[in-house]
Structure 1
Amino acid sequence: MPMDHLAHKHLVTLTLDVDFRSMLVIGPTPGGHRRIAPVTGGHFSGERLNGTVLPGADWVINRSDGVMVIDVRLALRTDDSALIYLSYQGRFLAPAEAMSRFSKGELLEPEEYSLAIVAKFECGEDRYAWLNNVVAVGTGEQTATGPVYSLFEIG
């Protein structure tokens, strides 16, 4: 395989429902402006992985350089009742003007921002133990009800 090729395949599409009205605003901290956004549910689908998203949260921080850092922790329930822990971290980048509109609740056009994550799965169920060794990255798109991510398994 050439060194300039990153082997990857689609793992799952993850759609989250976020209750933006119930977001907790912690406020300014040494690391930036901290908020906690409740994830109330959602669903995920892929060739080997399908089911529902259980409640969780996104521990968001807006840094002084304008970058929004996300830190999400969720439990997933597969269609065959296995429980999986999913955590992912990433960043939402947009020009200052677009980020200002976004912070006021405006939806941005996909070409106005970049949302990228690195994800980690943990599962104790034998049939999904393969997830414990997956290296996954993803890209996301904002919607009115929450983000939709495409996650890819690397190599």
Structure 2
Amino acid sequence: MPHETDQEIETEFLFEARVTLDPVPIEVGATPDGHRAIYVVTGGTFDGPKLRGRVLPAAGADWVRQRPDGAFHLDVRFCLETHDGAVLYLHWNGRFHAAPEDLEYATDQSKADDPAGAHRYYFRTAPQFETGDERYAWLNNIIAVSTSRTGDGGVIHRVFAVK
């Protein structure tokens, strides 16, 4: 007999964020935990059925660490401003990796957006939201996941709430 915990995970699309990054990272270099670089968020937009607005410039960054095995650990923090003036703080961790022959393509943020090419690398995150705005307080209590890709001067995140 199936248990409630055996159910498939369902998601609901929240928005797509197109986040632009400074193309020149702050290079921390080789650390004991891997190579560290910081990509500063320069702006962007987000749009979905319940949320839309802009990515606030200079309000976040992606602290990327390339592990010794070649995979990347992502530590991302930035702010969104909704079309009606609410500020949403996002923070998340994630993973990014590609086969050696696909790594240059996968990390090329300057290429045109290529959704069909995103199968060449793995780029997933788990965003969490914080806001003091009552209209969006429901975001404080959800778990979200994203499928992401590179292109158009940054990264494109498709964010889904886990139901």
What TM-score, normalized to structure 1? Answer: 0.91
Supply the distance in 2 between the matched residues of 1:105 and 1:16 (Cα, whole angstroms).
Answer: 10
> Normalization by structure 2: what TM-score?
0.87
Deviation at 1:81, TM superposition (A): 0.4
Distance 1:125 1:103, change over 3 A: closer
Correspondence 1:71 to 2:75: yes
Deviation, structure 1 residue 3? 2.5
C-alpha displacement at 1:100, in angstroms? 5.2
- Relative to structure 1, the CA distance from residue 42 to residue 27 in structure 2 (aligned partners, 3 Å threshold; closer, same or farther) is same
Matches within 5 A, 1:52-131: 52-55=54-57, 56-99=60-103, 102=106, 109-131=117-139
Residue of structure 1 in register with 2:46 after alignment:
44
Task: Structure 1: give runs of 5+ residues left out of the alignment.
Answer: none
SS of alignment partner, residue 68 of structure 2: coil
Shift of 1:76: 0.8
Deviations 1:7-47 (A, max 9, x none): 211011111011112x1001000110000001100111111
How big is the shift at 1:110? 1.5
The gaps in structure 2 that reach 5 residues or longer are: none
Q: RMSD between aligned alpha carbons?
A: 2.0
Matching residue of 2:35: 33
- Per-residue CA deviations over 1:131-151 (Å, capped at 9, x if unaligned) read 000100010011040110111
In structure 2, do the counterparts of structure 1 residues 86 and 104 end up closer, same or farther at CA, with 3 Å as the change threshold?
A: closer
Deviation, 1:124, is 0.3
Report the count of equivalent residues. Answer: 154
Q: Distance in 2 between matches of 1:103 and 1:138?
A: 17
Partner SS for 1:142: strand
